[in-house]
Amino acid sequence: MSASISSLIKHPLVFRGRDHRHSADGSELRLPFGQTNLDKACAGGVPASGVLSIRALAGQGELQLLNNVLLQKAGTQKRIIWLPNRLQLNPNWMCQTPYQQQSWVVNTPNEADALWACEQAIRSQACCCIVIYLAQVEPKAARRLQVLARQYDCLVVLVHPGNRSPGALPVNIDMALSFDMRQWFVDLHRVTGAWPQQHIAIEHPLPASNDAIVNAFRQFSSNDVTAIHEVS
């Protein structure tokens, strides 16, 4: 019974009375990722308030993907709360971002406290965005955050490995990052206002690479006059 209702709810033309965040022309305000395929699949981008769930392993570049979204949210000048899990946020990285001055890092001893801190931050209405890292997410907790975030006009980015949360979470967007032979894909398990989709190809460049050096060596090593080193 719940499976059939959930597929009905996912229909993009079904209007839910609680969804009241709309722009002037009546459509809901969405923040684009800056990637054409992904924005199209998400009906324009991430809803400005609510929960965005990203299933990603550490180091898969989830924040790089969300950079455009965070920048738009940071424009409100409200606080951005970071709730890391086991790792420490690098201050020197944060200082390179435009939202360094409005960011607070909150360290919690356990995930229950992290969820509590997230909830308090939403309710305070002093925060525009909360980025929280968890090892696992219960659908009930995700739903609670979703309801609060919609009510208080806050964006919650929930990052977790995803291996302990089968099925789509009851949030605005539930997506997973995957890497397959040099190409990155996004699987959309749930999207408000659009159908779920799998295998959406995205551009996810490395933060840095030696390609320039490698190309230079290749270009100049072929000529005996300009060759300095051999490239293997």
Partner 1 sequence: MHWLYLHFPRLQLDLFEQLHPEQTGPTVVIDGTDNTVCQLSAAALTAGIKPGMGLAEITAIHAQTCIIEYAANSENCQLEQLATTLYAIASDIVCVASNGIAINLSPLELYYQGLDNFMALCKRSLTVRQVHFHYGSGATIEIARVLARSHFDRVESEPSLALNHLKNCSLQATELPSKEKEQLNRIGIRTLGQLIALPLDEIGKRFNNQIITYLLAIKGVKQPPYSLFHPRKVFSQYLELPYAVESAPRLSRYIAIVLANNCAYLQKRNLATDTLQFELQQREHDNLMFKVNAGTPHHHLSEWQMLIDLKLEQLKLDSPVTSLTLTCDQLVEFDPENLSLLQSSYSRHAENMLLGKLLARLGSDSVKTVEQVNEHRQDYVVQQACALHKAPACSEANGLQPVWLMVQPQPLTEQTQIVYGPERVHTGWWDDHPVKRDYFLALTGKGQRLWVYRDDQQHWYVHGYFG
Backbone angles phi, psi at 182, to 5 degrees: 75, 0
Tell the smallest beta-carbon distance from residue 160 to partner 1 (Å): 14
Tell the smallest beta-carbon distance from residue 77 to partner 1 (Å): 7
Give the span between the Cα atoms of 140 and 161, in whole angstroms: 17
Residues β-bridged to residue 30 = 47
Query: Which DSSP category does 29 fall into?
Result: P
Specify the stretch interacting with partner 1 by CB under 8 A; choose among 14-22, 26-34, 104-112, 193-201.
104-112
Tell the smallest beta-carbon distance from residue 80 to partner 1 (Å): 11
- Laid out side by side, the sheet with 50-55 consists of 79-83, 127-133, 155-160, 50-55, 173-180, 183-191, 197-202
Angle at CA 27, nearest 5°, toward 25 and 28?
Answer: 130
Looking at the Cβ atoms of 31 and 121, the one nearer to partner 1 is 121
Size of the site for partner 1 (CB under 8 A): 50
130, 81 in Cβ contact below 8 A? yes
Q: Which of 23, 27, 36, 101 binds partner 1 (CB under 8 A)?
A: 101
Specify the stretch interacting with partner 1 by CB under 8 A; choose among 136-144, 168-176, 186-194, 202-210.
202-210
Q: Would you tell me which residues interact with partner 1 (CB under 8 A)?
A: 57-64, 76-79, 84, 87-96, 100-101, 103-109, 113, 116-117, 120-121, 124-127, 177-179, 184, 206-210
